[in-house]
Amino acid sequence: MKDVMKYKDFIGSVHYASEDRVFYGKVEGINDLISFEGSTVDELEEGFKYMVDEHIKDCTKKNTPIEKSYKGNLNIRLSPDLHKMAAYNAALKGVSLNQYINNAIKQEIASSDPE
């Protein structure tokens, strides 16, 4: 599992650069590229929170969307075997492949604990 931080419904990715001995990350789910770093976990968390707060202020000031918008369309890549099995199972259930994938994603979200 990828390490992440959460603050005000924003997610920050977490990475470590051993050669520089620094933690770094970026704010996910927004239209802008916003990164942060720190030499300690506390510094990293402070940097993340600061950048989120600044992003919210900037977007509010400019009247631009705070979060990335999602259209509901996405292209996914599956192995041919997985694609075949999914299409087969969808046909058995009498639903479209799109509906089958939607149901699988809903089930995964419902069964996972993101906290």
Per-residue pLDDT of the chain (115 residues; tens, 9 = 90+): 468 899 998 999 999 888 888 999 999 989 889 999 999 989 999 999 999 999 999 999 999 999 988 888 888 999 999 999 999 999 999 999 999 999 999 999 888 866 5
pTM: 0.70
Domain ranges of the chain: 4-62, 70-115
Distances (CA, A) of 31 to 10, 80, 99, 105: 13, 32, 28, 24
Q: 94's torsion region: left (phi>0), alpha (psi -120 to 50) or beta?
A: left
